[in-house]
Amino acid sequence: MLRPRLPAAQLALLTFVGAAGFLAVWSAAALSGITSRDFLPAPWDVVTRFAQLVVEPFAGFTLFEHLLSSFQRFAAGFLIAVAVGIPLGLLMAWFPWVDRIVAPAFDAVRFVAPIAWVPFAALWFGTGIGGPVLIIFMGAFPPVLINTYRGAKNVDRKHIEAAQTLGASDLRAMTQVLLPAAVPSIVAGLRISAGLGWQSLVGAELIVASSGVGYLMVKGQASVSTATVMSGMVAIGAVGILIDVALRRVQQVIETRRGL
């Protein structure tokens, strides 16, 4: 039996209490002297360092310039994953022989962690944009393909048969029947894909990059500046939330228009 949802005001209060409790524990640990403030800065130390990074270059760029570099890599890898994953998922759902050809190779690759591609990315692309884009693609591609395939497979056969009866070609049936019906599943997959892609980007930049938030964190660790590392973590989390909120909004609009 489902429990009734809490009022919005109560949910907001609980969120505030949780955040305040976390900050209180963090502040107490930083002030206790258990470890040096160089290794465990207080929240206000991180806020101060974050503000400095916004206006003062570190590792060659300001924080927002590092973020822009990271987002450009993410956008490239994510868009390539979408451009490949959606058409391939539709083809696999429509043509059984395509499914039989692609599925074994895809199943072998999708269980390899994106970070495992870092050595290949470093060898093939060095510190250029190609390496991180490859790693982001490997993280973002599987959810797009899987959700497109599942969404298309769940389309009511009556709609497909009606389109075929009216003389629709394979291309028209895929684009005008399968794709619209699979959109909710595809958008849900895009949210997962974006999250994995963003996480994969940061992992890639920790090793294969000469700019970006991950690179900033590496340089912060090398200079024993935990506040810099934590500022990078805050920026990563904030951008990740914004990406998910944007895709969630798209999902809500689509579901509302479709009466879901």
pLDDT of residue 1: 47
* DSSP assignments along the chain, one per residue: -PPPPPPHHHHHHHHHHHHHHHHHHHHHHHHTTSS-TTTS--HHHHHHHHHHHHHS-BTTB-HHHHHHHHHHHHHHHHHHHHHHHHHHHHHHHH-HHHHHHHHHHHHHHHTS-GGGGHHHHHHHHTTSTHHHHHHHHHHHHHHHHHHHHHHHHTS-HHHHHHHHHTT--HHHHIIIIIHHHHHHHHHHHHHHHHHHHHHHHHHHHTTS-SSSHHHHHHHHHHTT-HHHHHHHHHHHHHHHHHHHHHHHHHHHHHHHHTT-
Unique residue bearing structure tokens 């990406």: 243
Do the domain assignments include residue 101? Answer: yes
Q: What angle do CA 189, 68, 135 make, to 5 degrees?
A: 45
CATH number at residue 145: 1.10.3720.10
Q: Is residue 133 part of a domain?
A: yes
Predicted pLDDT at 251: 80
Q: Which residues of the chain have pLDDT under 50?
A: 1-2
Residue 161 domain flag:
yes
**14-34 pLDDT, tens digit each:** 888 888 898 899 888 888 877
Residue in this structure with the two tokens 């393909």, named with its chain if needed: 145
In this structure, is residue 147 part of a structural domain?
Answer: yes
pLDDT at 84: 95
CA distance 201 to 65: 16
> Distance between CA 92 and CA 89 in Å, rounded?
5
How long, in residues, is the chain?
Answer: 260
Task: State residue 48's pLDDT score.
Answer: 93
Q: What pLDDT, on a 0 to 100 scale, did the predictor assign at position 255? A: 73
Name beta bridge partners: 61: 58
How many domains in the chain?
Answer: 1
CB-CB contact of 195 with 131 (8 Å): no
Strand partners, 58: 61
Residue 18 belongs to some domain of the structure:
no
Nearest to 114 by CA among 206, 191, 190: 206
What angle, 0 to 180 degrees and rounded to 10, lies between the N-to-C axes of helices 63-94 and 43-55? 90
Confidence (pLDDT) at 232: 92
pLDDT of residue 78: 93
pLDDT confidence of residue 53: 94
User: Which two structure tokens, joined as six digits, stand for 45?
Assistant: 């130390």
The confidence score (pLDDT) of residue 12 equals: 79
Q: Which domain holds residue 106?
A: 69-211+242-257
Question: Does residue 26 lie in a domain region?
Answer: no
In this predicted structure, what is the pLDDT of residue 231? 93
Identify whether the C-beta of residue 2 lies closer than 8 Å to the C-beta of residue 18. Answer: no
d(CA 149, CA 193): 14
